[in-house]
Amino acid sequence: MVEQALERLRLGLAGTPYEGKVYLVGGYVRDKLLGRPLPNDVDLVLEGDALELAQFLYERGIADHHPVTYPRFGTAMVHVGDTLVELVTARAESYHDASRKPQEVRPATLLEDALRRDFTVNTLLENLHTGEILDPLGVGLQDLRAQILRTPRDPHETFYEDPLRMLRAVRFAAQLEFTIDQNAYQAILEQAERLAIVSIERIQAEFTRLMDSPHAHRGLQMLLETGLLHQFGQPLLPMVGCTQNEYHLYDVWGHSLKTVEYIDPSGLDMPAWEVRLAALLHDVGKPATRTVGEDGTVHFYEHDRVGARIAAEWLRHLRYSNATIERVAKLVKLHMRPGFYTPQWSDAAVRRLIRDAGELLEPLLRLAEADIKAQRADVPHADIPALRARIQALQAVQPKEHWRSPLTGDQLMQRFGLKQGPVVGQLKRYLEEQVIEGNLAPDDVERAWQLAEQYLQQLQAKAGARS
């Protein structure tokens, strides 16, 4: 897909003054040289006016829409097919202490443009038309081969100008399995607090990219060790050093990182980074609920419920969407349920788990498997594969879509003269529970009316007793 877009650009600019003067730069070049999957967005840089080039692409019918321009920064964005293309005027920048946005921008050479970038491995250029690789700084290819993240200039200057680059260093180190240069790492340690000037939306976006990596657990530990996590992940810090019971080899933090490492998000109907977020946060409620009994036994009563609340509050602070917050918090709240499974569970108990988990059932089972794997292997644990087999067998006999009340809310209101309200919901839930328990067939309307009437009488009697 991206190669098709690049071919359109090559053909469209061939024979024009731009031929041979436009370069690919950044992640696309880096990942191509590393043999990694290519991103579906590309950056183009030239020693010239990127805004004029963007307009030229639009007028020639190469770009699919009128360019979105940022004249102050000399950048423009267009789409070529499904590929996002950012065009950048080679530039030099100066910054204000209290902002990561450039205070002054001026056109510059490709060398000066490379010096303003975050890491040397992101300064490599590929001529759009000839395919020639340029290394403006003379060290980018060397650092790429050595798998080192080094800043083009003094790292204190690079990170001071844009503190988000410190977070990007950790993300790239985890994502690419690179090592952060010692001087750059020391600069992060010294300037971690400066991340406070970066908007929470930018931090969230970079953190999400980290959590999307299979090696997110390594990045999370680096965030802790560098002090960056202290700037935006305060609710996670009490997990560090919070010791557990005899089922565990690690403190809550170490166990959570192992769960992130072990969880398998492949093939699920939710993003991998969301699944790993749930793994990271599944025990976030433990420090607040930790108790020690008289016999020295450690307990974390209701840590699932407390953890779901803490997780939701933190994700809301990071400006995640309501849908993400609901899914992650629900997994945190339910994460203990599969772990209690035994062969003695009734079919009704299994059906209840299926109902309560809903579309998150398989992510929940994956979380439970990773949670167990991150604990001691020499203590008894629930057999999640056996639970999955029970679930599949029950759903084969009767799909969960049939586990519903035979009567609708409208029917109940009309028959019993009720108004829309809690009582109608209670009646429907009661009938649904009877179906799940096997006491009521999903299509047995006559029996449903009998049970509904009996339960309504009980509710009315309780209400009368209270009054």
110's tokens: 């490709």
Task: Compute the distance between CA of residue 259 and CA of residue 330 in angstroms, rounded to an integer.
Answer: 17
Shared domain check, 141 and 3: yes
465 pLDDT higher than 80: no
pLDDT in tens, 104-130: 556 778 999 999 999 999 999 999 999
| H or E stretch at 158 | helix 155-161
Assign residue 272 the CATH number of its domain: 1.10.3210
Q: What is the arithmetic mean of pLDDT over 17-21?
A: 94
Q: What is the arithmetic mean of pLDDT over 342-346?
A: 94
Task: Compute the distance between CA of residue 379 and CA of residue 90 in angstroms, rounded to an integer.
Answer: 60
| H or E stretch at 356 | helix 347-357
- pTM for the predicted model, two decimal places: 0.88
Q: What's the pLDDT band for 335 if we cut at 50, 70, 90? A: very high
Domain that holds residue 417: 409-466
Q: Which of 126, 146, 166 is the last residue of a domain?
A: 146
Shared domain check, 212 and 90: no
Shared domain check, 178 and 51: no
Shared domain check, 394 and 415: no
Q: What is the pLDDT of residue 98?
A: 57
Shared domain check, 367 and 238: yes
Shared domain check, 214 and 199: yes
Shared domain check, 185 and 315: no
Shared domain check, 430 and 354: no
Q: What is the pLDDT of residue 87?
A: 94
| Bigger pLDDT: 466 vs 378 | 378
Shared domain check, 110 and 42: yes
| Bigger pLDDT: 389 vs 424 | 389
Q: What is the pLDDT of residue 37?
A: 93
How many structural domains does the chain have? 4
Answer left, alpha or beta for residue 308, where phi above 0 means left and psi between -120 and 50 means alpha.
alpha
Q: What's the pLDDT band for 436 if we cut at 50, 70, 90? A: confident
Q: What is the pLDDT of residue 331?
A: 98
Task: Compute the distance between CA of residue 167 and CA of residue 226 in angstroms, rounded to an integer.
Answer: 10
CB contact burial 53-64 (16+ within 10 A = b; e otherwise): bbbbbbeeebbb
- The rounded mean pLDDT for the chain is 92
Task: Compute the distance between CA of residue 325 and CA of residue 278 in angstroms, rounded to an integer.
Answer: 10
| Bigger pLDDT: 256 vs 438 | 256
100 pLDDT higher than 80: no
Q: What is the pLDDT of residue 96?
A: 54
* Coil, strand or helix at 9: helix
Shared domain check, 179 and 134: no
Q: What's the pLDDT band for 85 if we cut at 50, 70, 90? A: very high
Instruction: Indicate the range of 33-42, 278-287, 306-315 predicted with least confidence.
Output: 33-42
Contacts 24+ apart (CB under 8 A), 262-265: 262/369, 262/370, 262/373, 262/374, 263/366, 263/367, 263/369, 263/370, 264/366, 264/369, 264/370, 265/363, 265/366
Assign residue 182 the CATH number of its domain: 1.10.110.30
Beta strands per DSSP E along 236-337 = 290-292, 298-300
| Angle between helices 384-397 and 347-357 in degrees, nearest 10 | 90
Task: Compute the distance between CA of residue 33 and CA of residue 124 in angstroms, rounded to an integer.
Answer: 10
Q: Which of 92, 123, 146 is the last residue of a domain?
A: 146
254 pLDDT higher than 60: yes
| C-alpha closest to that of 406 among 444, 351, 456 | 444
| C-alpha closest to that of 159 among 112, 106, 210, 195 | 195
Q: What is the pLDDT of residue 366?
A: 98
Q: What is the pLDDT of residue 103?
A: 55
**Residue listed under structure tokens 């586990």:** 403
Q: What is the pLDDT of residue 401?
A: 75
Task: Compute the distance between CA of residue 165 and CA of residue 162 in angstroms, rounded to an integer.
Answer: 6
- H-type alpha helices, 242-302: 252-262, 272-281, 286-289
Shared domain check, 134 and 107: yes
Q: What is the pLDDT of residue 99?
A: 55
Q: How many CA atoms lie within 13 A of 293 on its CB side?
A: 8
Q: What's the pLDDT band for 433 if we cut at 50, 70, 90? A: confident
Q: Which of 230, 248, 276 is the last residue of a domain?
A: 230
Instruction: Indicate the range of 168-172, 282-286, 355-359 predicted with least confidence.
Output: 355-359
- H-type alpha helices, 384-444: 384-397, 409-416, 422-437
Shared domain check, 188 and 252: no
